Amino acid sequence: MKHLLSAGDLDAGSALQILDSAEQMDAIQNRVVKKLPALRGRTVVNLFFEDSTRTRSSFEIAGKWLSADVINVSAKGSSVSKGESLRDTALTVAALGVDALVVRHPASGAVSRITEWVDCPVINAGDGTHEHPTQALLDAFSLRRRLGELAGRHVVIVGDLTHSRVARSNVLLLRTLGAEVTLVAPPTLMPSGVGTWNCSTSWDLDAALSGKVAGDVDAVMMLRVQRERMGGGSAGDGRPNVGYFPTEREYAIGYGLSPARLTLLPAHTPVLHPGPMNRGLEISSAAADSDRSLVLDQVRAGVAVRMAVLYHLLAGAEAPATGLAEVAPTTEAVREARTA
């Protein structure tokens, strides 16, 4: 695999290989010196045409902890703000001799186009409403740590599905790993063509959480209402009137994870959110701050998973010879330490 553009690029074997490597990478977060020599001498450019905190920061930390040289380039501070095209920007950066590009772009399919113009590996850090494969990997990593293997598990994904690249990538990856997926949203936020996706759908959140749609729920992922992708009018407080539901209060009542809805879930069921959270809208503070919440686990997992992705793409054929065992504990050792 040269690029990571979609969660669909991964079969079960390659996905599990990345997740197992991430287990090993995660162990170094407990060290005083968080450095591995695996990518010494390599240069990674984070090329972000869209604002980001979690994704860009975790890719930057991941590269640096692997001893790569990491350069951040944002549209606001580059020649893009002067009218330079995506193609020219990508070619200019690649001509500097970089070893990998991590790209986020507001247009769906833009990252895939870049692979047609450059020779180095390209990682999709989110493109429009299309996909966000490393987010799906870190979500799977967090779930696997809490639930064990994901085959046969049932995950409910709730919220703004129409504008969510996270939902698309999670459906692809979770199904590849053998999990069942149910998507829940109001009709106006259910994606066009969702009937062709390999998952169940429902407009009734309470029925889904209580197991009436596709059986008991093993995990719930709440998605952010993406006001910035909806546009149109004003909500009266300076924020856009999304137009996909009458009021924020009605959305919270119908599709928010309230304290009452937490009681519908089995005791083992964790709650995820890719962030940033709209507290009081799609998720209550009681849910976000509860013992069920994996929100901070997901942030931590982002560094380990992105380290694993960079390692496998950049080390490539050298990976088996180099061996993570030389620079990090084995997966078995990590698991034994966690259960000791």
201 is in an annotated binding site: no
- Encoding tokens for residue 89? 């920007």
Q: Which of 121, 103, 117, 110 is nearest to 59 (CA)?
A: 103
87 is in an annotated binding site: no
Q: What amino acid is encoded at 175 in this protein?
A: R
Across 106-142, b (16+ Cβ under 10 Å) vs e yields eeeebbbbbbeebebbbbbbbbbbbbbbbbbbbbbbb
338 is in an annotated binding site: no
- With beta carbons less than 8 A apart as the criterion, state whether 295 and 275 touch: yes
Residues with Cβ < 8 Å from 21, sequence gap 6 or more? 307, 308, 311, 312, 324
121 is in an annotated binding site: no
54 is in an annotated binding site: yes
Q: What amino acid is encoded at 109 in this protein?
A: G
Dihedral of the alpha carbons of 261, 179, 301, 164, in degrees to the nearest 10? -70
2 is in an annotated binding site: no
275 is in an annotated binding site: yes
The three-state secondary structure class of 37 is coil
40 is in an annotated binding site: no
Binding-site residues from annotation: 54-55, 82, 104, 132, 135, 165, 224, 275-276
Binding-site residues from annotation for carbamoyl phosphate: 54-55, 104, 132, 135, 275-276
Binding-site residues from annotation for L-aspartate: 82, 165, 224
